[in-house]
Amino acid sequence: MEYRIEKDTMGEVRVPVYALWGAQTERSRNNFRIGQPASIPIEIIHAFGVLKKAAAHANHSLGVLSEEKKDLISKVCDEIISGQHDEQFPLVIWQTGSGTQSNMNVNEVIANRSLVLSGGKPGQDKPVVLPNDDVNKSQSSNDTFPTAMHIAAYKLLAENTIPVIEQLQQTIHKKSTEFDKIIKIGRTHLMDATPLTLGQEFSGYAAQLTYGLTALKNSLKHLSELALGGTAVGTGLNAPEGYAVLVAEKIAEFTELPFVTAKNKFEALAAHDAIVETHAALKQIAVSLYKIGNDIRLLASGPRSGISELILPANEPGSSIMPGKVNPTQIEALTMVCAQVIGNDVTVSFAGSQGQYELNVFKPVMIANLLESARLIGDACRSFEVNCVRGIEANTKRINELLNNSLMLVTALNTHVGYYKAAEIANAAHKNGTTLKEEAVRLGYLTAEEYDQWVKPENMV
């Protein structure tokens, strides 16, 4: 491989000739060979493209950056946002906790690409845009990286994760309407309970997702506040007056999302409670999805030796040795995703506590876990909705069989013969292998006609 020589404040470094990055990026590549290829999420890089472009426009408007440099930086940023230079950002998550090296990676790529666009060659010709003095003007890694975190998280959640969860919620709600007249036995403690409709059962699943979506959408308001303009510790040192508000307006304009400058820059740099709050909402949804998925696969267990009240779509063979076996694979994938997201929440919560004085130094791992969870939840919900929920059918024959055989229908007799006599009827039926009706009549507590009049599942829901 051919190399060129790049320099920084610590001296010379050899950099691959194909690379647009510079000395600081290369030092980080060499010094942090941890967990590769666990690269910084590309959403963060694209968000950096947005914020660097916004910074150039704000700096130009405030008279501290020339129009020529603003245009060059903007052009390169547009290329970064569109994904043209994704291979130029090789750094891993496991770097400095402020994300400084990724910030400099972006600065260097923008500077060197600006030189190429101007007809020069990196490492040979004089730069036309400087990484620190121009691309990073009015900024610090301490306010750019959290800004990129918020942009990336907000975009992914608003444009992908939330719409997919909403679609799943709507499909489950449709199923609850479709199943509204199907009466089935309820279960508590994994044991038979009083009846409800299958629609009522599914309505609970839809409601869980509604509550989770509400929490997730509420967290977007906190995510919309941007740290940019706080610079090193939150005071705004070296940023021109009015920069913080203007750069947030530019980011909102470029993304068409409602970003604003953070009310308190000290909080925005030293703590990442917005990330903790947002991931907590994702964890809540993961907990709900786990419960929903587990219920559905238990209700579909069988097909001959289980509950088998639901029929799931048969998507693929389920066994390499047992012919004809079909497994609830979509639910298995969904619940594994839920386990991962719940685990990620531990990392995000702990990382959120690692703000010492004026800076949180676990930024990369926080955003990496949040973005992974948002992607996983979105992808898993889409797959579950398309490949499972849409095709769920009710096995009414089996539902009626289990309903009519349940001892808990005896609850309808409480108000007629009392709890203790009703319990005696149920225990006798269970012991003798008979029906509730047979035992109620045998014990002399009511007639067959009274039983038929009082024990009607449709009146118990």
Residues sharing a CB contact under 8 Å with residue 137, sequence separation 6 or more, in sequence order: 55, 56, 59, 64, 65
Alpha-carbon gap, residue 105 to 126, rounded angstroms: 19
Q: Which amino acid is at 349?
A: S
Question: Tokens representing 446?
Answer: 């009511």
> Is 329 labelled a binding residue?
no
Residue 326 annotated as lining a ligand binding site? yes
Helices (H) and strands (E) in the chain, counts: 17, 10
431 is in an annotated binding site: no
Determine the 3-state secondary structure of 98 from DSSP: coil
Determine whether the annotation assigns residue 99 to a binding site: yes
- Active-site residue flag, 349: no
Residues β-bridged to residue 310: 394
147 is in an annotated binding site: no
The closest alpha carbon to 205, from 280, 294, 309, belongs to: 294
Q: E strands, 346-427, where?
A: 355-356, 359-360, 393-394
3-class DSSP state of 149: helix
255 is an annotated ligand-binding site residue: no
Three-state DSSP at 130 gives coil
239: DSSP letter: S
- Residue 288 in marked binding region: no
Question: Which of 82, 319, 353, 430 is labelled catalytic?
Answer: 319
441 assigned ligand-binding residue = no
Q: Is 98 annotated as a binding residue?
A: yes
Q: Which residue pairs, CB below 8 angstroms and at least 24 apart, start in 180-189?
A: 182/394, 182/396, 182/399, 183/399, 183/403, 183/457, 183/458, 183/461, 184/309, 184/399, 184/402, 184/403, 185/402, 185/403, 185/406, 185/408, 186/408
> Has 160 been labeled as part of a binding site?
no
Residue 142 annotated as part of some ligand binding site: yes
406 noted as active-site residue: no
Known binding residues for substrate are 98-100, 140-142, 188, 320, 325-327
Known binding residues are 98-100, 140-142, 188, 320, 325-327
Give the residue numbers annotated as catalytic, written as ranges: 189, 319
